Structure 1
């Protein structure tokens, strides 16, 4: 099926690639169907694109590529919501706020997007450690940043 996207124009997606966010995302509780689309082959970035609303798309980064020591625990409630059985079925992303210069862009480490790739379920999780992981952490100043 083809969908219109916020950043990439019209793209073809497969039904089996659709992710369900049962509670939507903060601010968008009724939008539940998304797909991950590759953005740049040279950077660990993807677009989380709604298949229900063309204008709703978020640029995500694989946070561990930019901050090697990034780590968090998934609480039991989220494990249940995401039907997590094995750690290797889970991938986490961080929402980016893009600036004119990529190095000035920020990454939301406080509220990662967690996806169960096996069950095709996703959820944005707000971490309890707000001192360690800020909402807007500049990519250019991250420890262990990718070159």
Structure 2
């Protein structure tokens, strides 16, 4: 199927690449279908693009790339909802807040997007009682300079 995207224009997406978010995303509860599109050639950044709303695309990254010690436990309710039975089935993304200049970009580590890559279901999980916040500097060493 062809979809119009925020950053890539009109693209072809295979039906099996669509990730279903049964409860939508916080603030976008009516948006249930997204696809993850590479946004950088090196595979560091992605776009979580709504299938039905072209202007709705979130920039994502694998949080472990920038925060190797990032760790959280999913509540049983989220594990059950996503039918996560094997660690190999789990893909975790952090939503970025883009900044200009880019080195001021932040990552939301308090609400990771968790995807069952086998079943193509996803959920943005809000971590409670964790030390993580919605804005962690992606490049903290650049802030110091």
If the TM-score is normalised by the length of the shorter chain, which range does it land in? over 0.9
Residue aligning to 1:145? none
Unaligned runs of 5+ in 2: none
Question: Where in structure 1 do 4 or more consecutive aligned residues deviate above 6 Å?
Answer: none
Residue aligning to 2:48? 48
Residue aligning to 2:129? 129
Deviation at 1:42, TM superposition (A): 2.4
Unaligned runs of 5+ in 1: 143-147
Matches of 1:32 and 1:67, distance apart in 2 = 28
Matches of 1:43 and 1:19, distance apart in 2 = 19
- Equivalences, count: 141
Using the size of structure 2 for normalisation, the TM-score is 0.94
1:103 equivalent to 2:88? Answer no
Aligned-pair Cα RMSD in Å: 1.1
Q: Deviations over 1:76-113 (max 9, x none)?
A: 00011101111110010000000112210000000000
Residue aligning to 1:141? 140
> Is the CA contact 1:110–1:129 (under 8 Å) kept in the aligned structure 2?
no
Residue aligning to 2:91? 91
> Is the CA contact 1:40–1:46 (under 8 Å) kept in the aligned structure 2?
yes
Using the size of structure 1 for normalisation, the TM-score is 0.92
Q: Secondary structure at the match of 1:103?
A: helix
1:1-147 equivalences under 5 Å are 1-130=1-130, 132-141=131-140
